[in-house]
A and B are shown apart, each in its own frame.
Chain A
Amino acid sequence: MCGIVGLFLKKDELRPRLGDMLTDMLITMTDRGPDSAGIAIYGDSSDNLKITVQSDTDADFDGLEAALAGHLGAPVTMRRISTHAVLSVPAEAGAAATAFLDQRGIRIMSAGTSMEIFKEVGLPRDVADRFGIRGMGGSHGIGHTRMATESAVTTMGAHPFSTAPDQCLVHNGSLSNHNDMRRRLARKGVHTRTENDTEVGAAYISSRIAEGASLGEALEGTLKDLDGFFTFVTGTRDGFGVVRDPIACKPAVMAETGDYVAFGSEYRAFANLPGIEAARVWEPEPATVYFWER
C-alpha cells in the first residue's frame, strides 16, 4: 500500500499551519504503511543552501559545524533535530559540502534553498513528533508513510527521496524496470544512493529536468520510460505535481479550495482540512499529469 499526502497552500496566512495540517493528514494514513514515514517541507526560501543530514550516532554531529566551516572556509550554521541536522552553507559551496559529508559517512537526506526532508523508520505520529513537524511552517509539503516492498525498511529507504536541490518524490506502488533504469541513469552519470525503486524514479525526473525538461515534461516521461505501478507526487521549490500510471490501481484523491490544493491516498486524509465540505474533490485521471506552481 503506502500512504501519500500533499498540501499546497494558496494563502500566506495558512503558512504557519502547514506542518500541523500535513501531520494530521499523514497520521490518518498510518494504516496504509507502518514501516517508516517522512515529510518534505518547503519553508522560507534562503540565499544559502540547506543540506539536511541524518546519523544514528549523536557523536557524528559533534563539531560537525566547525569542521565543515573549516573545510569550506565559509560560515556554516547547524540546526540539530533528533537524528537529523540542517546545515546551512553558501550556495556555491554545495558540492564541496556534500563531498565532505559523504566522506564522513553522514547520510544526506536533501539539499535546497527551501526544502528540508525529515524521515525515519517508525509510525507517522512518532516520526512527526521527534522532528517537531507540527511546528514547521511553509508554502507546501509532501508526506509519505511506507509499507516496504522493493527495498529494506531503513531510514534511507523511507520517502521522500530527493535527487536534486529542492526536488523530491514520494511513491505508492512498485516499479518493475528500476534496475534497468538505474543502469541507464548511471551511464549518464546520474547515481542513486540506495537499492530503492522510488529513488530511481526521482533520479529519472531530476535528470530530465537537468536536461532542460519542464516538470510537466519530466512527469510525462515517467509514463513512457518507467514500467510498473505508480502514483507519484513530486515537489519542487515552486509547487507540486501528480501523475498515475495508466492502470491507476494505486489510489489517489485530490481536493481544491480557494485556500489550498490537497492530495491524499484516501479521502480520510482530508477530513480535518478547513472548508473540505465545500471543496472540489476529484480523482486524478490515469496517465495524466497535474501540477500546481506559484
Chain B
Amino acid sequence: MPVLDMLTTELRDVNAALHTAARGQANEAYVIENPRGAHAIAVGLDGPVSVTVKGSTGYYCAGMNKTATVHVQGSVGPGVAENMMSGEVIVDGDASQYAGATGHGGLLNIRGNASSRCGISMKGIDIVVHGSIGHMSAFMAQKGNLVVLGDAGEALGDSLYEARLFVRGTVKSLGADCVEKAMRPEHTALLADLLKRAGADARPEEFRRYGSARQLYHFNIDNADQY
C-alpha cells in the first residue's frame, strides 16, 4: 500500500498522487502519514481510490469528493467533505464547522461530534453524526438526510427545504420553518439503511424526524418576521 508521508511530501504532490490514482480507476489504497492539521488533504478526488489519513486534518479535507473513500483516523477542521458528490468520507474523531456543506451526494460518516453549521445548504448528501451537532445545522438544507445519534444545538434546520433530519437526542431549538414530523414506515426503512451503512449502534425507532413546514418557500407578508 503506497504511503505518502507529509513530513517529506508536499501537499500538492500528495494530492497529485491521489488524483492520478483516482483517474487510474484501479481502486488503489493509499495511506497519508503525518497530516499535522494540513489543509485541503485529498480534495477533489474523482475516481475509485481509497485513502486512509493517519492523524488530524485542517480545513476542507476531502472536499468535492467523487467516488473515492477517505477515512480520517483523527479529527477534521472546518468544511470536511464540502460539496461532496459521491463516495464516502469517514471521520473517526470530531468535525469542526460546516461539515458536509453543500454536499450533493455520498455518505459523510462522523464518529465523533460535529460543531456548528453541519450540513449547511446540503443538496443530497447523507450525513451521519454518531455524537452531537452544533448550532445552525442543516441551515437552508435542500435535499439529503442528516442523522444525529446525540443532540442538536440551536436553530436546527432553519429555513429548511426538503432535507430530512433525524435526531435521537434532544434538540435545543428548531430554526424558522423547521417542524417535527411523523416517522412513517418509509422513513424508518431509510434510517435503518443509513444507520447500517454508517455502522451506527442505534435503532430507527429511537429517532425523531424534523422537516420543513414549507411556509417560507414563497414570500408571505405574514411571515416577514421569520425571514
Contact = CB atoms under 8 A, between A and B. Distances in A.
A72 interface: no
Contacts of B56: 267, 281
B134 interface: yes
Contacts of A246: 135
Contacts of B93: 281
A286 B155 CA distance: 13
A132 B27 CA distance: 51
Interface residues of B, number: 18
Interface size class of A (residues with CB under 8 A): 10 to 19
A248 B37 contact: no
B37 A266 contact: yes
Given A248-B116, A281-B56, A268 B36 contact: yes
A249 interface: yes
Interface in B36-93: 36-38, 56-59, 75, 77-78, 93
A282 B36 CA distance: 16
Contacts of B38: 268
Interface centre among A249, A266, A283, A285 (most CB of B within 10 A): A283
Contacts of A253: 96
Contacts of B37: 266-271
Given A266-B58, A268-B58, A283 B36 contact: no
Contact of A283 (B57, B59, B96): B96
B145 to A, nearest CB: 24
B97 A267 contact: no
B168 to A, nearest CB: 20
Contacts of A286: 116, 134-135
Interface centre among A268, A269, A286 (most CB of B within 10 A): A268
Interface string A260-274: 000000111111000
Contacts of B116: 247-249, 286
Contacts, number: 44
A124 interface: no
B78 A251 contact: yes
B134 A249 contact: no
A290 B218 CA distance: 43
A267 B94 contact: no
Contact of A266 (B77, B115, B134, B135): B77
Interface in A172-210: none
Nearest to B76: A267
A270 to B, nearest CB: 7
A267 B58 CA distance: 7
Nearest to A264: B37
A270 B115 CA distance: 19
A251 B36 contact: no
A281 B75 contact: yes
Given A246-B135, A281-B75, 5 more contacts: A267-B58, A267-B77, A268-B36, A271-B36, A282-B94
Interface of A: 246-249, 251, 253, 266-271, 281-283, 285-286
20 contacts: A248-B97, A249-B97, A249-B116, A251-B96, A251-B97, A266-B58, A266-B59, A267-B37, A267-B57, A267-B58, A268-B37, A268-B58, A269-B37, A271-B36, A281-B93, A283-B96, A285-B134, A286-B116, A286-B134, A286-B135
Interface of B: 36-38, 56-59, 75, 77-78, 93-94, 96-97, 115-116, 134-135
What are the nearest 6 A-B pairs in CB distance? A268-B37, A267-B37, A271-B36, A283-B115, A267-B56, A266-B58
